[in-house]
């Protein structure tokens, strides 16, 4: 979440807990006090957390709740707007705080998995203008930007085997390694050094699918490990 002064964050969390009590204490919700505990530990977390991670946090705090109860609590917190459920393209379901009046978008690093929240008023204005230009009444939106974070860029290896490239990366083929048969197989597919490629998908247990020009290529992981490529934002590329 965005940095707030401790006093401001405490007031915000106290408001959330107060509203939770008003909504549910008199509604006969089963295990209200335990559910309140789930909310309190959830509010102590920062960033984006999975149900299993929240279960671990509760255990660290000395609470031995049944996992199904924690998941049911998260569903209720989401239903009533105390939590927001997110699914990024890694398939994991995460939850973040859902404070009233707060909106932000996300940047996700494909290398380390870091999730960065951001707000850009100019971008919000442009999106509203685009919707209006199409006669569209926008009720809400979500933007997820995928890429490589600044820390990972600083530590990125200049030339990598194609088998280690991430989905969405743009590279230039530097060289083929391995024996003559491997090089001939790659060349017979139509690939050559100097070709720019985009990684379409990269399954750790299967093929690497790339695009070069207007063609797609599916390369086995072993063979892809023999294709050395440089990132296109490297000055030497």
According to the annotation, is 195 in a ligand binding site? Answer: no
98 is in an annotated binding site: no
- 27 annotated as a binding-site residue: no
Residue 105 known to bind ligand: yes
124 is in an annotated binding site: yes
Nearest Cα to Cα of residue 50 among 24, 9, 85, 78: 85
Q: Is 112 annotated as a binding residue?
A: yes
CA pair distance 65, 161, nearest whole angstrom: 45
The answer to whether the beta carbons of residues 39 and 61 sit under 8 Å apart is no
Angle at 54 between CA 51 and CA 57, to 5 degrees: 155
> Is residue 203 within 8 Å of residue 164, measured between CB atoms?
no
Write out the binding residues for Zn(2+).
Answer: 109, 112, 149, 152
Write out the binding residues.
Answer: 103, 105, 109, 112, 124, 141, 149, 152
Write out the binding residues for Fe cation.
Answer: 103, 105, 124, 141
């Amino acid at each position: 979440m965005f940095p707030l002064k401790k006093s401001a964050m405490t007031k915000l969390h106290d408001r959330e807990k107060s509203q939770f009590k008003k909504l549910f204490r008199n509604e006969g919700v089963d295990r209200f006090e335990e559910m309140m505990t789930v909310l309190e530990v959830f509010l102590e977390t920062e960033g984006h957390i999975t149900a299993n991670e929240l279960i671990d946090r509760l255990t660290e705090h000395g609470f031995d709740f049944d996992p199904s109860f924690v998941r049911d609590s998260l569903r209720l917190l989401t239903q009533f707007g105390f939590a927001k459920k997110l699914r990024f393209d890694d398939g994991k379901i995460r939850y973040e705080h859902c404070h009233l009046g707060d909106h932000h978008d996300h940047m996700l690093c494909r290398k380390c998995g870091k999730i960065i929240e951001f707000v850009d008023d100019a971008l919000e204005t442009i999106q509203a203008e685009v919707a209006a230009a199409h006669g569209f009444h926008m009720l809400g939106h979500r933007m997820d930007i995928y890429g490589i974070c600044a820390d990972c860029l600083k530590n990125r290896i200049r030339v990598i085997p194609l088998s280690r490239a991430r989905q969405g990366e743009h590279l230039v083929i530097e060289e083929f390694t391995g024996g003559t048969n491997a090089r001939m197989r790659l060349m017979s597919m139509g690939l050559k050094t100097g070709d720019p490629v985009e990684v379409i998908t990269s399954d750790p247990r299967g093929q690497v699918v790339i695009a070069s020009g207007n063609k797609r290529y599916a390369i086995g992981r072993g063979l892809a490990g023999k294709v050395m490529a440089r990132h296109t934002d490297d000055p030497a590329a």
